[in-house]
Amino acid sequence: MDYAGSEPASAAVADPAMAIKILVAGGFGVGKTTMVGTISEIRPLHTEEVLSERGVGVDDVSGVEAKTTTTVALDFGRITIREGLWLYLFGTPGQDRFWFMWDELAQGALGAVVLADTRRLQDCFPAVDYFEQLGLPFVVAVNCFDGARRHDPVTVRRALGLDGVAPILLCDVRERDSVKEVLTSLVTYSVGGAFPAG
Amino acid sequence: MTGDDPGPLIRLYGLTGGRARPAGESFDLVAIVTAVVTAAGAPAEPAGLVPEHLAALALCRRPTPVADVAAYLGLPLNVTRVLLGDLRREGLVTIDRPRPAAQTIDEGIYREVLHGLRRL
């Protein structure tokens, strides 16, 4: 990029700003917020979103305006690649009843990281099923907590019933280099196939 | 924020007049928001804008993702979206349509992202 003498306005036209979404999914307490915090340049923003119960997968009440509301926690962090190009990591709501929120988060996303804990591997099944159905590329990152048995990725793949395509990595969500490796794997897996290796 | 105290959220929704959805076409959490500036300068600010509207407007003089506006204002995403929907309705900002990452990432951006991640 040529910075010298370029007007900010003209640079913006030549190079439109773009924000890329990556989802971080997995069961409750698996380390989603920690992972976002390890790599984000801003303190992960934890917000509580207010939703009307009408949107929470209850029976259709045929136009009756629901008065009840509920809140759902959403964490996100940011990585600036350069001015005008950002990666956003969204920690997806853990509760199943917030699937509709996943739909919105997943729309247009680059892909997802499914965090797995081998002591409770079944907790990540819903996320794997969801992304498979949606056709959104994902990698499975097995968070190796202290004292957790270090599983062989082949064993995890078999347990999850995954085909041979989605990458499975071991990681430590507290380690920056480990999270970087997970994210570069996801980016390469999601879009790298269209381009020559490099 | 704890689940026991709904006070702050109720107060936040006071900002939006109780609205949970923005006016007009929906937009993504990472849609880029840009303040409208014409040759004649920025459009006049209509009455009825709250300080949060003005803060968002000032921030979006540089193209800024919705999520960043929320982070900057310290407001929930839904509340932020309602405020940005108001600004769009008044013609003060434009909000780009969500574009799927897979279709918008060309080889140049792909390599920039990989390089950017590796040097973190």
Within 169-198 of A, beta carbons closer than 8 Å to B belong to 176, 180, 183-184, 187-188, 190-192, 194-195, 198
For residue B1, being part of any structural domain is answered with no
Q: What average pLDDT does the segment B49-65 reach? A: 93
Give the model's pLDDT for residue A1: 45
State yes or no: pLDDT of B32 exceeds 90. yes
**d(C-alpha B106, C-alpha B104), whole Å:** 6
Cross-chain Cβ contact A20/B111 below 8 Å: no
B62: chain A residues, CB-CB within 8 Å: 8
Give the model's pLDDT for residue B8: 57
Taking residue A173's Cβ as centre, other Cβ atoms within 10 Å add up to: 26
**d(C-alpha A2, C-alpha A13), whole Å:** 14
Neighbouring-strand partners of residue A20: A87
Parallel, antiparallel, or unpaired: how do β-strands A69-82 and A85-91 relate?
antiparallel
> Could you write out the DSSP letters of every residue in B65-112?
EHHHHHHHHT--HHHHHHHHHHHHHTTSEEEPPP--HHHH--HHHHHH
Inform me whether the C-beta atom of residue A68 falls under 8 Å from chain B C-beta atoms: no
Q: Taking the domains of chain A in order of start, what are their residue ranges? A: 17-193
What's the whole-number average pLDDT of chain A?
A: 79
Q: Which of B30, B76, B116 sits opposite A19 (nearest CB)?
A: B30
Decide: A87 and A42 in contact? Cβ < 8 Å. no
A195: chain B residues, CB-CB within 8 Å: 107, 110-111
For residue B19, being part of any structural domain is answered with yes
The Cα of A35 is separated from the nearest Cα of chain B by a number of Å equal to 14
Give the model's pLDDT for residue A69: 59
Give the model's pLDDT for residue B79: 87
Residue type, A38: T
State yes or no: pLDDT of B111 exceeds 50. yes
The Cα of A121 is separated from the nearest Cα of chain B by a number of Å equal to 28
Q: Which of B65, B68, B77 sits opposite A74 (nearest CB)?
A: B77
Segment A1-42, tens digit of pLDDT: 444 444 444 444 446 888 999 999 988 888 998 999 999 988
Residue type, A107: Q
The Cα of B42 is separated from the nearest Cα of chain A by a number of Å equal to 14
**Closest residue on chain B to A88 (Cα):** B30
Give the model's pLDDT for residue A15: 65
Cross-chain Cβ contact B110/A195 below 8 Å: yes
Burial of residue B9 (number of CB atoms within 10 Å: 0-12, 13-18, 19+): middle
Element (H, E) at A190: helix A176-191
Inform me whether the C-beta atom of residue A105 falls under 8 Å from chain B C-beta atoms: yes
**CATH tag, A17-193:** 3.40.50.300
How many structural domains comprise chain B? 1
Segment A159-186, tens digit of pLDDT: 888 877 889 999 999 999 999 999 999 9
State yes or no: pLDDT of B16 exceeds 70. yes
A51: chain B residues, CB-CB within 8 Å: 20, 78
Give the model's pLDDT for residue A55: 44
Mutate to test the interface with B, among A23, A35, A46, A47 (most CBs of B within 10 A): A47
Q: What average pLDDT does the segment B48-59 reach? A: 92
Confidence of residue A66 (pLDDT cuts 50, 70, 90): very low
The Cα of B81 is separated from the nearest Cα of chain A by a number of Å equal to 11
Cross-chain Cβ contact B9/A8 below 8 Å: no
Select from B97, B120, B15, B73 the least CA-distant residue to A178: B120
Cross-chain Cβ contact B117/A180 below 8 Å: yes
Range of the domain at B71: 7-118
B107: chain A residues, CB-CB within 8 Å: 194-195
Segment B72-93, tens digit of pLDDT: 888 888 889 999 999 999 999 9
Q: What average pLDDT does the segment A89-101 reach? A: 75
Confidence of residue A67 (pLDDT cuts 50, 70, 90): very low
